A = this chain, B = another copy of it.
């Protein structure tokens, strides 16, 4: 939607192959935007299993509540995503709208409404008129295809400046399976302009509880380790669908998370989720720099994460990154306010490979010119060693620029 593509966008959009058992199409339903696709219908083969992770917000959107219910059965036949309206904070009307959307999609795909998954992103608080989907989803269902994947990735965008895709092919028993993922998100997360949505598809035959175990674990260091502005959407949704179509090629059905056949798959899924999450940070609203915050030497991983988020969410650290300023004083401040065990006189802070502070004071060998040159780069690594234990973690964020304020403040809704 934005005029210019983020300077941090990947150099090219990856070629994503078809995933057996998955077909899709997009359309212009006119929910809010004009002259762009805003609805995605995905059809999933019979027997598709599903796992999901949704927002921790205590005020979730109607589609999030719908997905939570549908996830209990672990079976999926379809997915409908719309952009332009989040169907969040819409009360009883919102619930009716999700039910109607699921009904329409179930009819179009010939399945039960409870096998349809839903996600919406866009304006919050305005009722979503699901009757707009009546003819549209029928029409879309008539032209489902296994590609190209850029269509779905574009249809779900809001303030995103580039479509986000990732893929992998890995051995699975005696055959090979495919993974394909799309994501959207630019603010983390403006409820009326953004939200983090991601959908990953595979033809691997994996039972729903195993899928869920994999996803719940791997989200921790991917999507849950990214922040743009510390604001959590009412609509964040990550779904992982496994059609099982690879069984026809001899792939074994996996019912145990410890099954060694999963080894390559787990690794590929981890990489794919990390890739998509990084793309979200690279498309942070107004972002000009990707900032990786690394914390080592904390008393635990949990403590390291809290310190890392305290740094990554600090407006002063983020504006310093925008100003290409190796301002370790602000990093000390953010460590101090995290409320986690820290000893000022043991802290060490580096920007990239350059240590700027150690033992509670400026590093005497610190060379300002070298560090200044480093700060001009697209990617900034901030590393803090707490010096107390073995807990470490990393989170991704971006800088805070005037463009962020312009995107979120220069208008009247």
Contacts and interface: CB of A to CB of B under 8 A. Distances in A.
Nearest to A235: B333
Most chain B C-beta atoms within 10 Å of own C-beta, residue among A232, A341, A347: A232
Contact of A401 (B90, B190, B338, B409): B409
A266 interface: no
A217 to B, nearest CB: 22
A405 B322 contact: yes
B408 A405 contact: no
A114 interface: no
Q: How many copies does the complex hold?
A: 2
A125 B93 CA distance: 56
Given A58-B342, A60-B344, A344-B89, A232 B336 contact: yes
A9 interface: no
B339 A124 contact: no
14 contacts: A56-B339, A89-B360, A89-B362, A91-B345, A93-B361, A124-B330, A127-B361, A192-B327, A231-B337, A315-B404, A316-B408, A323-B410, A324-B412, A325-B411
Interface residues of A, number: 78
> Considering residues A192, A324, A405, which has the most beta carbons from chain B within 10 angstroms of its beta carbon?
A405
Contacts of A229: 314-316
A174 to B, nearest CB: 46
A335 interface: yes
Interface in A393-413: 399-402, 404-406, 408-413
Contacts of A52: none
Contacts of A337: 56-58, 231-232
Given A320-B409, A342-B59, A90 B402 contact: no
Contact of A91 (B55, B323, B359): B359
A91 B361 contact: yes
Given A58-B335, A322-B409, 6 more contacts: A58-B339, A58-B342, A89-B361, A91-B360, A232-B336, A320-B408
